Amino acid sequence: MSRFLPFEIATSNFVLILVLVAATVLLGTTYFLATRGTYAAAQGGWGTWRRRLAALAAVLLCQVLVVAVFAARTNQTMRWAVTLGDLVELLGAELPAPSALLPLTPTATTDKSAKWHTNFTEHDAQLQVTHFAGPTSGVSDDVWVWTPRHYSPTDKRPHNVLLLLHGDPGTPDGMLYNLDITAKVQQAIDSGALPPTLVVAPALSVDAAQRAEPDCADFAGRARVGTWVQVDVPRMLRANFPNVSADREAWALGGVSSGGYCAVWTVLQRSSEFGTAAAFSAYDAPQIGGLAQANELRAAHTLSHLVQGDAHSAVNWWLTAAQDDRDATHFVRHFALAAPQADHVARDLVPAGGHAWALWRQRLPHFLSWWGAAQAGQPIDWEPTESGPQTPVGLLAKLEEVAPLRHLGVLVAAWGLLGVLTVLAAFPRAVLLARRRWWGRMRGDRERGASPPLPASEVFIPRRLWRLVSRGVWLGLASLGAVLAAGLGVNRWGEFYPTWQVAFLDLASIW
């Protein structure tokens, strides 16, 4: 589908076009509501049903467009969908049919042919990308590589490799941007906390099926993403960056959210290749992809079961979670208890932070320093010394006390308020007349409930301007109400932000 709808939607130009379209429709609707309301009053009624339906449709269109603007701006940073085809596949995706789990692909090979070499395109001074066709997996997609400042492939110093897996939905470049990789990793290298390191981020949503339900493993009839991550990408990296270290302790695999689950799962399968794993807000049992398709598979591939039952080389585990993220906290505690004594588990549990980029970005430097210390043979016992991302207090804290972000009542109230604002925006005069009639009946004065005659001053510009401004205000409030209601619904479904403070902090960094 991406081939047939290649129009890019994760760009500033697309967001600007959407803003202009939304602004034009908002202004046109404001004028329509103001003038149509005047004509309807002049006729002595609320207007025809056609006018009512047209007004309601116009308001709903404005709300959809304003929500789309907010979603497009967020997608520009998060890069959930890069093209229109990606968006169609993401929204219209069907769950995969159950299929057989395939065995691991051997990594040992003597093949040194040119098929492992690829051409990179420079994205900026330290970030480059290639579209690589994996010889073993058959997967063809982007691989992003970040290199330290002044990196040279002829440098004789061995370089670490940090392989990062994005979440679902997500893209590798969106993850690198939101983690602020250039600043965080370069600072760790410059300070001496971390040896020279390459950061590698392969695409995981390699086709429509993987975009719907991304896999960690290979399944029959599906793209072999497991082999792509475990075999093709590391071999391509070694062929094109000859100074990457051959020491497994210098190779780490990490990820955020579902990518964190896949990172831990993969290291358990390939502990001879990776000495360290980092999971930022992962979960214990698989929740998406082929491993989650049946109860037996889910139980067999629950990480706290795997680490206890499967033989593997000793691994250093870095596990980050905020304690207001229930699934991630459950995973960290159960995995740490189940890990064998030969493994070392750093439980990076902070009190608050939710399931959000602000948390992961804030904890990344701690992981980098911890990993560097482990390589240097220093003590790597870890206890968090900070409480997580610093959240604003005051009004937001009071708001959380009165209306908790994830409370069902808050969501219902938001949608109820949206309904009221929609009616007020579409039928402001109808609401006013209904109130007058009700008030007139309450006072026993029928004349007060009658529609007042249109005053002669109605034709003057100040009165018309007031009508335009008032209609515009109601329409703007109704549109912003739609953004709030939609956002609360998505947050309750995805359990991203536990509090208003965490939501504000993360969204402020995205916007």
Alpha helix ranges (H) inside 191-257: 208-212, 225-227, 233-240
Helix (H), strand (E) counts: the chain: 19, 9
Burial class of 443 by CB neighbour count within 10 A (0 to 12, 13 to 18, 19+)? exposed
Q: What is the pLDDT of residue 6?
A: 67
Q: What is the pLDDT of residues 82-120, one digit of tens each?
A: 888 777 777 765 655 667 888 888 876 556 667 899 999
CA distance 495 to 492: 5
Q: What is the pLDDT of residue 82?
A: 80
Hey, what are 385's tokens?
């010394």
Q: What is the pLDDT of residue 255?
A: 97
Q: What is the pLDDT of residue 14?
A: 92
* Annotated domain spans of the chain: 112-376
Contact in structure between 52 and 445 (CB atoms under 8 Å) = no
Lowest mean pLDDT, pick from 161-165, 170-174, 348-352, 390-394: 390-394
pLDDT surpassing 80 at residue 423: yes
Residues with Cβ within 8 Å of residue 508, at least 6 apart in sequence = none
User: Whose CA is closest to 205, among 364, 362, 79?
Assistant: 79
Mean per-residue pLDDT, 173-201: 96
CA distance 165 to 172: 7
Hey, what are 160's tokens?
């670490």
User: How many other C-beta atoms are found inside a 10 Å radius of the C-beta of residue 453?
Assistant: 10
Under the banding of pLDDT at 50, 70 and 90, the label for residue 350 is: very high
* Percent of all residues in the chain with a pLDDT value above 90, rounded to a whole number: 56
Q: Which amino acid is at 41?
A: A
What residues does 276 pair with on adjacent strands? 252, 316
Lowest mean pLDDT, pick from 93-97, 378-382, 408-412, 471-475: 93-97
Q: What is the pLDDT of residues 285-323, one digit of tens each?
A: 999 888 988 888 899 999 999 999 888 999 999 999 999
Largest Cα separation within the chain, whole Å, is: 97
Contact in structure between 282 and 261 (CB atoms under 8 Å) = yes
Contact in structure between 127 and 44 (CB atoms under 8 Å) = no
Q: Which of 121-125, 152-156, 228-232, 436-440 has the highest mean pLDDT?
A: 228-232
Under the banding of pLDDT at 50, 70 and 90, the label for residue 427 is: confident
- pTM, rounded to two decimals: 0.84
Q: Could you say which of 3.30.70.1880, 3.20.20.20, 3.40.640.10, 3.40.50.1820 is the CATH number of the domain covering 112-376? A: 3.40.50.1820
pLDDT surpassing 90 at residue 257: yes
Contact in structure between 171 and 90 (CB atoms under 8 Å) = no
Q: What is the pLDDT of residue 216?
A: 92
Mean per-residue pLDDT, 404-428: 90
pLDDT surpassing 60 at residue 1: no
Q: What is the pLDDT of residue 457?
A: 45
pLDDT surpassing 50 at residue 344: yes
pLDDT surpassing 50 at residue 41: no
User: Whose CA is closest to 498, among 233, 261, 250, 281?
Assistant: 281
Query: Whats the size of the chain, residue-wise?
Result: 511
Under the banding of pLDDT at 50, 70 and 90, the label for residue 53 is: confident
pLDDT surpassing 90 at residue 125: no
Q: What is the pLDDT of residues 57-67, one digit of tens each?
A: 999 999 999 99
Q: What is the pLDDT of residue 152?
A: 93
Question: DSSP assignment of 180-199, as one string?
Answer: THHHHHHHHHHTTSS-SEEE
Q: What is the pLDDT of residue 277?
A: 98
CA distance 341 to 326: 26
Q: What is the pLDDT of residue 19?
A: 96
Q: What is the pLDDT of residue 456?
A: 46
User: Whose CA is closest to 164, among 183, 178, 151, 153?
Assistant: 178
Which residue carries 């807000």 as its tokens?
Answer: 281
Q: Which helix (H) or strand (E) holds 318?
A: strand 316-322
Q: What is the pLDDT of residues 484-511, one digit of tens each?
A: 999 999 988 877 888 888 888 778 776 7
Mean per-residue pLDDT, 407-426: 92
